[in-house]
Chains A and B, each alone.
Chain A
Amino acid sequence: MITLAHMLCLSAILFSIGIYGVLARKSLIAILMSVELMFNAANINLVAFNRFLYPDSLWGQGLVLLVITVAAAEAVVGLALVIAIYRNTKNLNADDLHLLHD
Chain B
Amino acid sequence: MIFTFSMISHLFLIPILPFAAAFLIPIFGRWLPQRGAWLSIAAVMASFIIALDLLLRVGDGSLLLPHAVTPVPWFSVGLYEFVWGFQLDGLSLLMGLIVTGVSLLIQIYSLGYMSDAPRLKQYFASLSLFTSGMLLVVFSDNYFQLFIGWELMGLCSYLLIGYDWDREAAGKAAVKAFLTTRIGDLGFYAALLTIFIILGTFNFVQIEERLLDGGLSSWAITLMALLIFGGVVGKSAQFPLHVWLPDAMEGPTPVSALIHSATMVAAGVYLTARSYVLFSGSPMAMHIVSWVGGGTSLMAALFGVATRDIKRMLAFSTISQLGLMLLGLGVSGYSGSVMHMATHAAFKALLFLAAGSVIHAVHTNDIWKMGSLSKQMAVTFTVFLFGALALAAIPPFAGFFSKDKIIENIYLAHQPGLLALAYSVSGLTAFYVFRVIGLVFLGQPKERDRFAHAHESPWVMTIPMIILAFFAVSFGWILSRPSIFETFFSAPLHHAALEAAIPAWVMITANSVAVGGMGLGLFLYTGDLTRVESLARVFHPIHHFLFRQAYLDEAYELFLLRPVRGLAAGLDWFDRQIIDRIFVDGFKTIADELLSRRTPEEATASGERSGRIQNYLMIVTFAALVLLFWNSH
Contacts and interface: CB of A to CB of B under 8 A. Distances in A.
Interface in B598-629: 600-601, 604, 609-614, 617-618, 621
A97 B611 CA distance: 8
Contacts of A97: 613
Nearest to A19: B621
A98 interface: yes
B614 A94 contact: yes
A24 B614 CA distance: 7
Given A102-B600, A102-B604, A95 B621 contact: no
B617 A22 contact: yes
A93 to B, nearest CB: 10
A102 B605 CA distance: 12
Contacts of B609: 101
A101 B610 contact: yes
B600 A23 contact: no
Nearest to B620: A23
Contacts of A102: 600-601, 604, 611
A23 B612 CA distance: 11
Contacts of B601: 102
B616 to A, nearest CB: 10
Contacts of A98: 610-613
Nearest to B618: A23
Does more than half of chain B's interface fall in helix, strand or loop, or is it mixed? helix
A23 B618 CA distance: 6
Interface in A18-43: 19, 22-24
Nearest to A97: B613
Nearest to A25: B614
Contacts of A100: 611
The interface size bin for chain B is: 10 to 19
Interface in B401-454: none
B614 A23 contact: yes
Contact of A95 (B600, B604, B612, B617): B612
Contacts, number: 27
Nearest to A99: B611
Contacts of A22: 614, 617
A31 to B, nearest CB: 8
Contacts of B617: 22-23
Contacts of B610: 98, 101
Contacts of A95: 612, 614
Interface in B306-362: none
B621 to A, nearest CB: 6
A7 to B, nearest CB: 20
B604 A23 contact: no
A97 B610 CA distance: 11
Contacts of A23: 614, 617-618, 621
Contacts of B604: 101-102
B613 A94 contact: yes
Contacts of A24: 614
B411 to A, nearest CB: 72
Interface string A28-64: 0000000000000000000000000000000000000
Residue in B609, B610, B611 whose Cβ sees the most chain A Cβ within 10 Å:
B611
Nearest to A24: B614
Contacts of B618: 23
A4 B515 CA distance: 94
Nearest to B601: A102
Contacts of B614: 22-24, 94-95
Nearest to B604: A102
Contacts of B600: 102
A86 B611 CA distance: 19
A22 B620 CA distance: 12
Contacts of B612: 94-95, 98
A94 B618 CA distance: 14
Contacts of A94: 612-614
Interface in A64-85: none
A19 B628 CA distance: 15
B612 to A, nearest CB: 5
A92 B322 CA distance: 77
Given A95-B612, A101-B611, 18 more contacts: A22-B614, A22-B617, A23-B614, A23-B621, A94-B612, A94-B613, A94-B614, A95-B614, A97-B613, A98-B611, A98-B612, A98-B613, A100-B611, A101-B610, A102-B600, A102-B601, A102-B604, A102-B611
Interface of A: 19, 22-24, 94-95, 97-98, 100-102
Interface of B: 600-601, 604, 609-614, 617-618, 621
Top 8 nearest A-B pairs (CB, nearest first) are A101-B611, A98-B611, A23-B618, A95-B612, A23-B614, A94-B614, A98-B612, A23-B617
11 contacts: A19-B621, A22-B617, A23-B621, A94-B614, A95-B614, A97-B613, A98-B613, A101-B609, A101-B610, A101-B611, A102-B604
